[in-house]
Amino acid sequence: MIKKNILFVGAHIDDIELGCAGTIVKFSKKNNIYFLIITNSEFYNQNNKIVRKKEIAEKELNNSLNILKVKKIFNFNLNTNNIQFNDDTKKEYLKIINKIKPETVFVHSGNDTHLDHQIVSNFITSMSKKINNIIHYKSNFYHYSKKFNPNLYIDISKEFNTKIKSIKCYKTELKRVKKSWLKLIKLENSLYGNIANTKYAEAFEIIKIVKKKANEI
């Protein structure tokens, strides 16, 4: 069986896992999974005190990738909260697309109110017109003023525990948002599971799709 390539794009480390980790585990059994992280994920608090160094971000990301069995990661290393795409980044993205030829691209929902997420969503969606399937995911439950309108639910009941393990790799973020973060993730995936008539599910917005069956993406 020839494995298909799937690309997951996130503005920062942990964005992809929050919205897609269960789906990644499910799809990695029959597909090659690739990550593209746009920023170095280093950030500061309101007092300009560093909260997470890029070296720590990279270490936490690699720990998560080992759990999710991601084939390869690409990183633009742009500055957090100051994403600026130019001709060079456009060329770099097209180079990645031409190299791995993904069947599907997952990226942030365009309704996300986090500015980094919005910018990444608009850029990747507009630059992926030749890709068969474009899917938007919800990476944070507290970054949506506009409604997230899912029309695709993927059962992750068997993969949910692995999803939580991957998110626990981001110790810096968990320290900042406390353990309530994990409870909210469980609640959200449970609510989506109820809609999909299963225990846990992840929800997505289909922007463009060629395949009709979700598990064949």
Contact 200, 156 (CB under 8 A): yes
Task: Please name the residues in contact with 212: beta carbons below 8 A apart, sequence gap of 6 or more.
Answer: none
All domains in the chain, ordered by first residue? 4-216 (3.40.50.10320)
10-58 residue pLDDT tens? 999 889 999 999 999 999 999 999 999 999 866 655 666 666 677 777 8
68-118 residue pLDDT tens? 989 999 999 888 778 899 999 999 999 999 999 999 999 999 888 888 999
Give the phi and the psi of residue 115 in degrees, each rounded to 5.
-60, -40
Tally of CA atoms within 13 A in the half-sphere of 108 that contains its CB: 29
Contact 57, 78 (CB under 8 A): no
132-179 residue pLDDT tens? 999 999 987 655 556 889 999 999 999 999 999 999 998 887 877 777
Nearest-5° Cα angle at 194, 192 to 198: 95
